[in-house]
Amino acid sequence: MACLETRRKGRWSGFYLPWGRNRAAANENSSIPRKERGEGDLRFLRFQEKGLPSWGIVEEDLVERISWKDREGGLFKRAGEYYPIADLKLLPPCNPSKIIGIGLNYRSHAEELHLPLPEAPILFMKPSTAVIGPREAIVLPPQSRRVDYEAELGVVIGTATHRVAVEEARKHIWGYTCANDVTARDLQPKDGQWTLSKGFDSFAPLGPWIETEVQDPAALQVQGLLNGQVVQQGSIDDLVFSIEELIAYISACMTLLPGDVIFTGTPAGIGPLREGDQFTVRIGEIGELTNRVALLP
């Protein structure tokens, strides 16, 4: 993979502090261009470069490579090297230590399953080994005869988060991404913790990037497309428990680390995946995540 150009190398050497507690400090630095001061739409992604993971910022159809000085603090430096995004092998946009999923968090999903709304968030976990990136294959395990798609909004944590109040929760969010809570539906009733049904390798697609600037997350529309046809559609304002309530509830139990992801729930319309299918999670203001479906080699 060749670098397209280095048209701004050197000029863009300032560090950017993209979220929460450091945003004001970034805005005070007049030497940093406007977009770098957190007043624009920043999308962070990871891609493979010479066999190793690299970080970049999406600018239309190009990716500029960056290097981190302090990821949790939000300090990075632009390299001035640009690559066409279509030529890159995209990796999952973060490397979570854990994924926390939320069951029955859409009213429409609870209705389609004829289940009552939960009185408190239903938590489950997916292992980090379940994570795959865009264009990678969801692998159907031989233990299951029905594997379902679940289009979801993923919330990426930006700073270590423990026992935060609902009112403070937004300060701990790095950004948002598309997620697919792939589930072996026929195994789920046999597993009270849901770990088996949701924990197979490749059952947590994430991507394509982390969107840091969403004006109103509650207004986001989540769609799932199976082979190009819309099969799921829902709004974040249909959540039983809001994003902020989820962060407060989860962090009262466990510390969320930078890069951890919360799967916020899926709208109505879940259904099976088959070999050769292609499933896309589409979320307005964020983007699209597409994965193919394959059998275990």
Statement to judge: residues 249 and 137 lie in one domain: yes
Work out the burial of residue 238: count CB atoms within 10 Å of its CB; fewer than 13 is exposed, 13-18 middle, 19 or more buried.
middle
Alpha-carbon distance values, 211 to 105, 167, 226, 255, 272 (Å): 22, 21, 23, 23, 29
pLDDT band at 7 (very low <50, low <70, confident <90, very high): very low
Statement to judge: residues 128 and 265 lie in one domain: yes
Choose one of 28, 59, 91: the last residue of a domain.
Answer: 91
What is the pairing mode between strands 173-180 and 99-103? unpaired
Statement to judge: residues 67 and 126 lie in one domain: no
Q: Is residue 239 part of a domain?
A: yes
What's the helix, strand, coil split of the chain in %, to 5? Answer: 20, 40, 40
Domain that holds residue 52: 15-91
Statement to judge: residues 64 and 103 lie in one domain: no
- Residue-wise pLDDT tens digits, 165-175: 999 999 999 99
- CATH classification of the domain holding 32: 2.30.30.370
Statement to judge: residues 85 and 160 lie in one domain: no
Q: HSE of 213 in the Cβ direction (CA atoms, 13 Å)?
A: 12
β-sheet bridge partners, residue 226: 229, 279
Q: Is residue 3 part of a domain?
A: no
Statement to judge: residues 242 and 109 lie in one domain: yes
- Residue-wise pLDDT tens digits, 123-165: 999 999 999 999 999 999 999 999 999 999 999 999 999 999 9
Mean pLDDT on 111-124 = 92
Choose one of 91, 111, 133: the last residue of a domain.
Answer: 91
Statement to judge: residues 81 and 111 lie in one domain: no
Statement to judge: residues 47 and 182 lie in one domain: no
- Residue-wise pLDDT tens digits, 284-294: 999 999 999 99
Which pair of tokens denotes residue 60? Answer: 């239309």
Q: Is residue 83 part of a domain?
A: yes
Per-residue confidence (pLDDT) for residue 69, from 0 to 100: 86
Statement to judge: residues 81 and 120 lie in one domain: no
Statement to judge: residues 53 and 187 lie in one domain: no
Per-residue confidence (pLDDT) for residue 71, from 0 to 100: 80
Choose one of 56, 73, 91: the last residue of a domain.
Answer: 91
Statement to judge: residues 57 and 119 lie in one domain: no
191 pLDDT higher than 90: no
Prediction pTM value: 0.88
| C-beta of residue 261 within 8 angstroms of C-beta of residue 177 | yes
Please provide the average confidence, as pLDDT, over all residues in the chain.
Answer: 88
Dihedral of CA atoms 155, 149, 127, 292 in degrees, nearest 10, equals: -100
Q: Is residue 162 part of a domain?
A: yes
Per-residue confidence (pLDDT) for residue 4, from 0 to 100: 58
- CATH classification of the domain holding 168: 3.90.850.10
Rounded distance between C-alpha atoms, residue 265 and residue 208, angstroms: 18
Q: How many domains does the chain have?
A: 2
- Residue-wise pLDDT tens digits, 26-37: 333 322 232 343
DSSP, res 289: E
Statement to judge: residues 124 and 266 lie in one domain: yes
Q: Is residue 120 part of a domain?
A: yes
- Nearest residue to 72 (alpha-carbon basis) of 285, 264, 260: 260
Q: Is residue 247 part of a domain?
A: yes
Name the residue with higher pLDDT: 36 or 176: 176
Per-residue confidence (pLDDT) for residue 37, from 0 to 100: 32
Q: Is residue 7 part of a domain?
A: no
Q: Is residue 2 part of a domain?
A: no
